[in-house]
Chains A and B, each alone.
Chain A
Amino acid sequence: MVESIIGIRGKDFVLLAQDANTTKYGILNMKFDTNRLFKLSEHCAMLAAGEPGDVVQFAEYVGKNIQLYKMINGIELSPYACANFTRHEMATSLRSRNSFLANVIVGGFSTNERDQERAQLYSIDYLGAMISANVVAHGFCQFFALAIGDRLWKEDL
């Protein structure tokens, strides 16, 4: 809950942000180079926050599978497809021995010209629920970010 991640969708872009590069343990700062942003493909990225081990494990697992798809099929998956894959993995692992305590934001720009909405942003929580929205956030900041988004987000950011 302490780590915050935010995603904002504009007309032809997606903005992904994480808070400070620190991992806290109680009152101590354990790590100063925590990176919560993981590249899934050339035009899609994932922000992940939650249990530190789970975050890295899950994000890298999804990332490598997206790369594998690209190698086998020669095309990049759209953020929509990446997000659905992520959701599927999250939901499958939930009712198994190894579940991931990670909240995730997947966002990017689709390289598929036939997509109606090219800028795509999705939020998946640790229970495998996925939504698509203009402003998404996880962590303590979500109480503020979502409210501000509701008030101030507009069509042509």
Chain B
Amino acid sequence: MAGEYDTAITVFSPDGRLFQVEYAQEAVKKGSTAVGVRGKNIVVLGVEKKAVAVLQEDRTVRKICILDDHVAMAFAGLTADARVLMHRARIECQSHRLNVEDPVTIEYITRYIADLQQKYTQGRGRRPFGLSTLIVGFDYDGSPRLYSTDPSGTYHEWKANAIGRQAKTVREYLEKSYTETTYESNHESIKLCIRALLEVVQSGSKNVEIAVMLRHKQLKTLSADEVEKYIAEIEKENEIEAEKKKQAKQIGSSTTTTASSTLTTQTSKKE
């Protein structure tokens, strides 16, 4: 059924689908995972760092990039497509500053990128961009923002989101774990981002890259040592959790005996 309706993307299928867009979304699912978390005073981006070939220069993989002093972007999907989109977005950021003397709001630049992605789903036989993006930053009124776009050109605002490989698993983890504490604390936001990534990535600072942006500050990539510290903290917390669970199980199996012993002590005290 798909055969006839997926060559020219301007064509809808009989059941109302754009197959090229859906195939682009499949391409995104093959890309390495990216996670974004928004706190009260911080925005965090984390990406999975794929292992590089032995002879390849291990420079930081450019999956997190700045679009302007106050906007950063991570993507999942075709790297080359991302480069093109990034270039256009950077020009737009400066153009906006030139014309209206104000830095872009995160929503504005997200909408610009989403509009670009949509344009390529509607005409002249060009294929859509095969990538989803996570766009973070602070508006000039100081509010932190996290937005996400996808190949169809839709965009939404998120408190925390994941894109790319196994995004669904990571998103479910984020839904379970994102709390008021995460929102309030910078430290917790960064930790949650790393935790979420570690759900699908092997543990170790060489497999993740974390970038953090504070209000009125530039994007800062955490060093390997800093990431290791967070990972150590996470692993300790996991151990404590595991211990608690083990103890809970043990207590559960021996409640009857402990109950009787407390009763006996109470009666003896009375006497």
User: Chain A: residues with CB nearer than 8 A to chain B?
Assistant: 60-61, 64-65, 67-68, 71-72
At the interface, yes or no: B98 with Cβ under 8 Å from chain A? Answer: yes
What are the residues of chain A within 8 A of B97 when measuring CB–CB?
A: 64, 67
A72, B84: Cα distance in complex, Å: 11
How many whole Å from B152's CB to the nearest CB in chain A?
A: 27
What are the residues of chain B within 8 A of A68 when measuring CB–CB?
A: 90-91, 94
Query: Is the Cβ of A71 less than 8 Å from the Cβ of B66?
Result: yes
What are the residues of chain B within 8 A of A60 when measuring CB–CB?
A: 98
**Interface set, chain B 89-109, CB cutoff 8 A to A:** 90-91, 93-95, 97-98
A28, B95: Cα distance in complex, Å: 34
How many whole Å from B166's CB to the nearest CB in chain A?
A: 30
Query: Is the Cβ of B67 less than 8 Å from the Cβ of A71?
Result: yes
At the interface, yes or no: B87 with Cβ under 8 Å from chain A? Answer: yes
How many whole Å from B2's CB to the nearest CB in chain A?
A: 38
At the interface, yes or no: B188 with Cβ under 8 Å from chain A? Answer: no
Main secondary structure of the interface of A (DSSP, over half): helix
A71, B65: Cα distance in complex, Å: 9
The listed residue with most B CB atoms (<10 A of its CB), out of A64, A65, A71, is: A71
Query: Is the Cβ of A72 less than 8 Å from the Cβ of B90?
Result: yes
What are the residues of chain B within 8 A of A72 when measuring CB–CB?
A: 87, 90
Query: Is the Cβ of B66 less than 8 Å from the Cβ of A64?
Result: no
What are the residues of chain B within 8 A of A65 when measuring CB–CB?
A: 94
At the interface, yes or no: B68 with Cβ under 8 Å from chain A? Answer: yes
The listed residue with most A CB atoms (<10 A of its CB), out of B67, B90, B94, is: B94
Query: Is the Cβ of A71 less than 8 Å from the Cβ of B68?
Result: yes
How many whole Å from B57's CB to the nearest CB in chain A?
A: 16
Contact with A along B93-129 (1 / 0, CB 8 A): 1110110000000000000000000000000000000
Residue of B nearest to A74 (CB): B66
A72, B68: Cα distance in complex, Å: 10
How many whole Å from B73's CB to the nearest CB in chain A?
A: 11
